[in-house]
Structure 1
């Protein structure tokens, strides 16, 4: 199963990039992970929040195929423990899912068209994190999920 992590904008802080790179390298032993960073919109001061979300939706939806199982990282999504997230991934890999696409939206969230296309929503916490920080948290949890599935000692309870 291929996993794509689709985001808008680049990770600017070096310490976050270093952490993300660390887990992306580790994940190569478990799954195919593609990191796709779409360029942030330019000249957004002239756009309202809804207009900006529509433009971002156009960028995101172009990168998704009809066969992709799309999961939005969204504060209103399902809340899972690390073990439950591992079981979720396992269920998808055992089933007919060949491609999972996890998406982090722009600063104002997702346009309704992206919500309509999504198959699931996942919340990493009830707390609010920066869009850059959530990238590191997500890849770490993805790595943790795979180590749980393999019975490796990374995860402790």
Structure 2
């Protein structure tokens, strides 16, 4: 299985970019991992929230292959403990899917077309985090999940 993380807009903090890169590199030890950035929509100030979600949705859907399993990072998604998230990853690997695609949307969320294509939604917290921080938290949790599955000493229960 491969995991692809897709996010809207580039990370504007070098410190966050460096930390994301550290965990992405660590993940390569366990699984094929790819982090794709979809550039911000140009002239988004001239668009309504709905129009921006539609345009971002088209760009997200254009990244997908028919065999991909799409999971959205969404405030209404299921919350997991780190142990439960590790189990979620194991079940996805056991199911034989080729590519698990996790998507962090833009500031207004996802279009209806993207919701229609997704297989599930995950929420990292009831709190709201910046989209920049969510990238780091998610990559770290994926890494943590694989260390849990391998019984490595990174996660302490």
| TM-score between both structures, scaled by the size of structure 1 | 0.98
Q: Report deviation, 1:53.
A: 0.3
Q: Secondary structure at the match of 1:74?
A: strand
Q: Report deviation, 1:96.
A: 2.1
Number of equivalences: 157
Q: Report deviation, 1:15.
A: 1.1
Q: Which residue of 1 aligns with 2:7?
A: 7
Q: In structure 2, what is the Cα distance between the partners aligned to 1:28 and 1:115?
A: 29
Give every structure 1 segment of 4 or more consecutive aligned residues whose post-TM-superposition deviation is greater than 6 Å.
Answer: none
Q: Which residue of 1 aligns with 2:142?
A: 142
Unaligned ranges ≥5, structure 1: none
Mapping 1:81-120, distance limit 5 Å: 81-120=81-120
Q: Secondary structure at the match of 1:36?
A: strand
Q: CA RMSD, aligned part only?
A: 0.6
Q: In structure 2, what is the Cα distance between the partners aligned to 1:107 and 1:21?
A: 23
Q: In structure 2, what is the Cα distance between the partners aligned to 1:56 and 1:20?
A: 22
Q: Report deviation, 1:98.
A: 1.3
Unaligned ranges ≥5, structure 2: none
Q: In structure 1, what is the Cα distance between the partners aligned to 2:29 and 2:48?
A: 43
Mapping 1:46-57, distance limit 5 Å: 46-57=46-57
Q: Secondary structure at the match of 1:5?
A: strand
Q: Secondary structure at the match of 1:17?
A: helix
Q: Secondary structure at the match of 2:136?
A: helix
Q: In structure 1, what is the Cα distance between the partners aligned to 2:25 and 2:65?
A: 25
Q: Which residue of 2 aligns with 1:25?
A: 25
Answering whether residue 134 of structure 2 is matched by residue 155 of structure 1, we say: no
